[in-house]
Structure 1
Amino acid sequence: MKKVGTFPSMIIFITVVASLACYPLLPAEIAVHFGSDFSPDMFMQKWLGLVLMPFLMIMFTGTEYYGKEKVKEESKLEFEYCFRLLLVLLAIIQLSIIAYGLGYEIPTGRFALITAGSFMLLVAAYLSYSKKVFLFLRMLGFKKVDAYSKNLWKKITIITLTVSGLSCLILAIFMRNDPSYFMMSMFLGLCIIVVGSGVYLNKK
């Protein structure tokens, strides 16, 4: 018998438990949509606002569960991680709605850091299992890379993404100022390390 999987179950469980625990503390109406400056521009009754995201998460998990059978074996990992990314984004949105309803200000920069950090950690996890990670290198003309260099480049990429992702999440918790310059520097450093190491190993 197929299983839904530990990761989707854990994300849904955390989201539902957080929603139930905070429900009595929230106002009768909560903000469910925010503008570019993270100011609320749409409100709902709290029971409806808190049910919406978990409902979507369960629906998407069901889609993955039954849709995986129709996906080719070599594409199942990518199919699975697309849905994992979607679940994480929905969980972040739900927790942000709860935090705002409890009176916590959530600057756009903090939200961006949490999203970027989660995305990079998921990509790092995907790359650790993926066998297609070098396809885009061949598209760019990287044809000289041997097996050792490929594995080394893969490790460099995974470590860089993991460190960058954790840095984003830590900064999101302790952030005091606008993180724009930090994020620009971090993404520039990430590109230099990952792409630079690929170019170096290709020409070595």
Structure 2
Amino acid sequence: MTTTNLKRWGIPAAAALIAAAISLYYYAELPEMMAVHFGPSDEPDRYMNKAFGAFLMPVIMLFVTAVTNASAKLERDESKRRRFEGVNDTVNVVVVVLLLAVHLLTVGFNLGYAIRISLFVPLAVGLVFIAVGNVLPRAPQGTLRAFRMKEEYYAKYVRIQGRFMVVAGFLMVLSTLLPGEAGMYFMFFVIAALLISVIGGASYFAKR
């Protein structure tokens, strides 16, 4: 298997298989109604029958991988499509590893282990932002992009947004040092600020 195929399907498939195997191994010990979603205070606020909750995440892993891989096929320009696929391959690996970690924590919580979800979420999302921010400048301007820019402005825009994402990721990681639920709320604030910069920056460079 080539490195490309390993990133594109090998690692996601392996992660989904590991998640499913863990659920099968502990299936008898899991509660009939599994906690699958948590509020900022670490209290579960959504439950699901374990027949679905134990195996939902492996399905999501494969679905996200399929959608990510298919999205690059929509690009009509061959050279841009290859660049998109390279970026998507890295994003695939980062996302499925994150989803595997979420699955492990969810199973652990439902088995009775004391797990602080509010500590994990900002840390995990921050690491994803750092990883994606580093590869974002390699992504070409897609044919279907909503905000069209001149190529030199697009290159500047993705460099800036990539740096913003990395900084936002580090801030989220550091937010785990905040007490109580503060880290989760700070993460939401950072994401909101980043979304404003993404939309505002795209609008600004598209008009130049």
Pick one of 167, 186, 189 that aligns with 1:182.
186
Q: TM-score, normalised by structure 2?
A: 0.57
Show the counterpart of 1:13. 14
Task: Provide closer, same or farther for how the CA distance between residues 126 and 35 of structure 1 changes in structure 2, counting only shifts above 3 A.
Answer: same
Distance 2:202 2:61 in 1: 37
Aligned to 2:61: 57
Residue by residue over 1:114-173, the C-alpha shift from the partner in whole angstroms, topping out at 9 and shown as x without a partner, is 5643663465356323222794444xxxx6x672x543332221011022124324545x
Correspondence list, 1:193-204, <5 A: none
* 1:59-103 per-position Cα deviation (integer Å, ceiling 9, x unaligned): 6646776x579644448538x849938746643541331231351
Q: Aligned pair in 2 of structure 1 residues 41, 68: CA closer, same or farther (>3 Å)? A: closer
Question: Could you say if the C-alpha distance between residues 136 and 114 of structure 1 is closer, same or farther in structure 2, counting changes exceeding 3 Å?
Answer: farther
* TM-score, with structure 1 as normaliser: 0.57
Cα distance in 1 between the residues matched to 2:137 and 2:200: 20
1:98 aligned partner, one-letter code: V
Q: Is the counterpart of residue 97 in structure 1 residue 98 in structure 2?
A: no
Q: Within 2, Cα distance between the matches of 1:203 and 1:126?
A: 25
Distance 1:200 1:54, change over 3 A: closer
2:129 aligned residue: 120
Q: CA deviation at 1:29?
A: 1.4
Q: CA RMSD in A?
A: 4.9
Range moving further from structure 2, 128-137 or 17-26? 17-26
Structure 1 residues not aligned, in runs of 5+: none
Would you say the 8 A contact 1:33–1:42 is kept in 2?
Answer: yes
Listed as ranges, the matches of 1:1-204 within 5 Å are: 4-6=5-7, 8-14=9-15, 16-17=17-18, 28-30=29-31, 31=34, 33-34=36-37, 36=39, 37-39=43-45, 41-44=47-50, 50-58=54-62, 61=65, 71-74=74-77, 76=81, 77=84, 81=88, 84=92, 87=96, 90-102=99-111, 103-107=113-117, 109-110=118-119, 112-113=121-122, 116-117=125-126, 120-121=129-130, 123-124=132-133, 127-132=136-141, 135-138=145-148, 147=152, 149-169=153-173, 171-172=175-176, 174=177, 176-178=179-181, 179-187=183-191, 189-190=193-194
**Structure 2: unaligned runs, 5 residues or longer:** none
Give % identity. Answer: 17
Secondary structure of the 1:153 match is: helix
* Residues 1:110 and 1:9: Cα distance change in structure 2 (over 3 Å): farther
Cα distance between partner residues in 2 of 1:64 and 1:161: 20
SS in 1 for 2:5: coil
Instruction: Report the CA distance shift for 1:87/1:113 in structure 2 as closer, same or farther (over 3 A).
Output: same
Distance 2:109 2:15 in 1: 18
* Matched residue SS, 1:33: strand
Contact 2:129 2:169 (C-alpha < 8 Å) held by counterparts? yes
